[in-house]
Structure 1
Amino acid sequence: MIRTERLILRQWHDEDLYPFSQMCRDKDVMEFFPKLLTEEESYGMGRKIKSLIAERGWGFWAVEIPGQRKFVGFVGLHIPKESMPFSPCVEIGWRLAKQYWGMGYAAEAASESLRYAFTHLGLKEVVSFTTVRNIRSQAVMEKIGMSYASKFEHPDLEPSDPLCEHVLYKINREHWELHAL
């Protein structure tokens, strides 16, 4: 379990799966993903994330606000598919329920995730990526000290898909040490 000033990042619980499935059916939350997820797909993804944390000790942690709500989304670290043009690497990512947007929670939890990546895992670099149209996530990337690196076409999407063109952001340990929030 990791604590920030306002949040707890932790292993997933079975009761997180239902609110996660609700998020994954929200058209605003999923705007920059290829499709809304069914309840079955969401539960499967949540269970996979939970198993990866159990296996590695880290991952896309469940996020909760102490004393207010159990599960508000996830933030953390993940190893993307080998087919990504910048693999092997570790990425930082997030997905929060819409009612928690604009409160600085993604940046707060992501900053602590970077701290974990560099101080506990000893990583030299962390990446993040999103579709070029996802300006909100790019703003979070910049707020936590990441820098634009390049554009690329997502290998799992057709070139004609409006979500295909992505941006890659990076941060290395030295830059993080100089600019940590």
Structure 2
Amino acid sequence: MIETPRLRLHRWDDRHRAPFAAMHADPEVMADLGGPIGPPESQAKFARYVAAERDHGVSRWAVEGRDGAFLGYAGVMPRSSNDHPLGAHFEVGWRFVRLAWGQGYATESARAALLHAVDRIGMREILSYASPDNKRSQAVMARLNLIRDPARDFVTLTSRGEAWRGLVWVVPSRFS
């Protein structure tokens, strides 16, 4: 577990499954990725996060408030060369329930997850990306002092077969 002044970042367990699925079923929360996903896709994503932590020592973390309420997730995920146009890399990302938006939780939890990945795991290159219209995530990237790298921008297909454009940022080599 990682603790910040307001949050706790936990490894995934069964208590997170239902709120994780509910978050992914919310059209507003999932608007940047083409809309909500159903239970099978959500459970597959959950399983990927559990496997990433087991196999790589990093993953998205379940983010909870100090009261134990599920707020979303943030963390570093491995991406394989088989499923991404940028090839194999690590990517920091986040997603939060609608009621948690605008509170600074994404910045606070992503910073904690990045510090863990850099200081404890020893990662050196971590990317982040967002769609051009996802201004909220781009604002988080700015608050984290990530560096924009337009040469790495890419287009990929969503699970629904729709084109999705990713604008890329890089975590600075001296992240703090």
| TM-score over 0.5 for the pair | yes
Question: Unmatched 5+ residue regions in structure 1?
Answer: none
Q: For residue 132 of structure 1, what is the aligned residue in structure 2? A: 132
Question: Which of 122-131 and 40-49 deviates more?
Answer: 40-49
Q: CA deviation at 1:141?
A: 0.7
Question: Unmatched 5+ residue regions in structure 2?
Answer: none
Q: CA deviation at 1:110?
A: 0.6
Q: For residue 80 of structure 1, what is the aligned residue in structure 2? A: 79
8 Å contact kept, 2:52–2:78: no
Q: For residue 63 of structure 1, what is the aligned residue in structure 2? A: 63
Q: For residue 116 of structure 1, what is the aligned residue in structure 2? A: 116
2:164 is the alignment partner of 1:164: yes
TM-score (norm 2): 0.89
Distance 1:81 1:31 in 2: 25
Report the CA distance shift for 1:122/1:31 in structure 2 as closer, same or farther (over 3 A). Answer: same
Within 5 Å, give how 1:1-181 maps onto structure 2: 1-69=1-69, 71-82=70-81, 83-150=83-150, 152-157=153-158, 161=162, 164-174=164-174, 176=175, 180=176
**Aligned pairs, number:** 173
Report the CA distance shift for 1:19/1:67 in structure 2 as closer, same or farther (over 3 A). Answer: same
Distance 2:98 2:132 in 1: 20
List, as ranges, runs of 4+ consecutive aligned residues in structure 1 with deviation greater than 6 Å. Answer: none
8 Å contact kept, 2:60–2:76: yes
Distance 1:173 1:166 in 2: 21
TM-score (norm 1): 0.87
The SS at the match of 1:173 is coil
Distance 2:124 2:51 in 1: 25
Distance 2:85 2:136 in 1: 23
Percent identity for Structure 1 against Structure 2: 28
Report the CA distance shift for 1:81/1:35 in structure 2 as closer, same or farther (over 3 A). Answer: farther
Query: How well do the aligned residues superpose, as a CA RMSD in angstroms?
Result: 2.0
8 Å contact kept, 1:118–1:173: no
Structure 2: which amino acid aligns with 1:91? E
Distance 1:90 1:165 in 2: 18
Structure 1: which amino acid aligns with 2:84? M
